[in-house]
């Protein structure tokens, strides 16, 4: 008699609301055990209850981490590895759109720190477990906001020409370059890395007051729901044929061509090396 296949374990960051919440729900409905991460205990536990109530028999749990702190990311990785002997899916979903220039706990520009350095570090810290659990997947939520942006890896942690739009767009460009280099490094391991544009989603991402929030609210009627925005993340985490998306940028359920800057392998390697230095790997 064949033994039953072990339940697949998925980690979704930024799962307390928005796209992350509905990604967690989709993966729970697909039969995975889902670890929902967030920075606020009450919101993350409420999100966990939301998923459990809508996915019959779902196995869901929470883990806390503030992605503005690399130490917190390290503690999260330690907790995940201690709890689970296997990890099958990592969805790097947590994101920030900051209306003002701020620095992270570690002294780096906040948007870059949260949107790129934190998932870069988390992915690397759990990579051995993902490889040991292969076939496995790493899904990173990027954005078409990367278009028209350029980065200098040597200065991106504290650029002089900061603006909230540039900071966000550059961080999303980093997500695509990271995915490209990650897939190259993972060749032959059975771990597939892909990134995606979720659509223009009506989340709370830019609701931070001022003119940014006003513009966001005016555009919301023309945006898609968070549930629809999660569809591509869920698709990449569950499709039976993920290899064709390895290293790719996905829109809907199809490979798309990102901005030429996102296809620069030299920049991708330099970004990886600088990111590793900044996070202490």
Range list of H helices, 154-223: 164-185, 210-219
Please identify which residue in the block is written with the tokens 């990785």.
Answer: 77
Please identify which residue in the block is written with the tokens 């883990």.
Answer: 63
Residue 32: φ, ψ to 5°: -85, 155
Angle at the Cα of 89 from the Cα atoms of 280 and 31, rounded to 5 degrees: 155
Task: Name the CA radius of gyration of the chain, rounded.
Answer: 18
Angstrom distance (rounded) from CA 213 to CA 224? 17
Q: Of 22, 108, 168, 249, which one is the catalytic site residue?
A: 168
Angstrom distance (rounded) from CA 139 to CA 130? 12
108 is catalytic: no
Q: What are the counts of helices (DSSP H) followed by strands (DSSP E) for the chain?
A: 10, 8
Angle at the Cα of 252 from the Cα atoms of 222 and 12, rounded to 5 degrees: 95
Give the orientation angle of helix 265-279 with respect to helix 164-185, to 10 degrees. Answer: 100
Tokens encoding 80: 């995940």
CB atoms within 10 A of CB 225: 15
Catalytic residues: 168
């Amino acid at each position: 008699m064949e033994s039953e296949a072990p339940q697949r374990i998925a980690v979704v960051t930024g799962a307390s609301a928005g796209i992350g919440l509905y990604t967690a729900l989709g993966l729970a409905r697909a039969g995975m055990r889902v670890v929902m991460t967030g920075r606020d205990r009450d919101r993350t536990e409420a999100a966990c209850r939301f998923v459990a109530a809508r996915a019959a028999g779902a196995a869901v749990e929470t883990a806390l981490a503030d992605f503005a702190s690399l130490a917190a990311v390290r503690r999260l990785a330690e907790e995940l590895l201690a709890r689970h002997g296997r990890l099958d899916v990592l969805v790097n979903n947590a994101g920030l759109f900051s209306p003002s220039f701020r620095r992270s706990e570690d002294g780096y520009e906040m948007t870059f720190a949260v949107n790129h350095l934190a998932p870069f570090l988390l992915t690397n810290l759990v990579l051995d477990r993902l490889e040991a659990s292969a076939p496995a997947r790493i899904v990173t939520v990027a954005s078409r906001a990367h278009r028209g942006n350029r980065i200098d890896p040597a200065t991106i942690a504290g650029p002089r020409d900061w603006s909230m739009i540039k900071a966000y767009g550059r961080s999303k460009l980093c997500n695509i370059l990271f995915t490209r280099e990650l897939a190259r490094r993972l060749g032959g391991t059975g771990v597939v890395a892909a990134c995606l544009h979720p659509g223009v989603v009506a989340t709370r991402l830019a609701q931070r007051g001022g003119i940014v929030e006003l513009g966001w609210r005016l555009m919301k009627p023309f945006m898609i729901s968070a549930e629809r925005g999660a569809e591509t993340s869920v698709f990449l985490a569950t499709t039976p044929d993920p290899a064709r998306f390895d290293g790719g940028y996905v829109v809907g359920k199809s490979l798309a061509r990102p901005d030429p800057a996102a296809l620069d392998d030299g920049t991708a390697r330099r970004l990886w090396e600088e990111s590793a230095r900044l996070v202490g790997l």
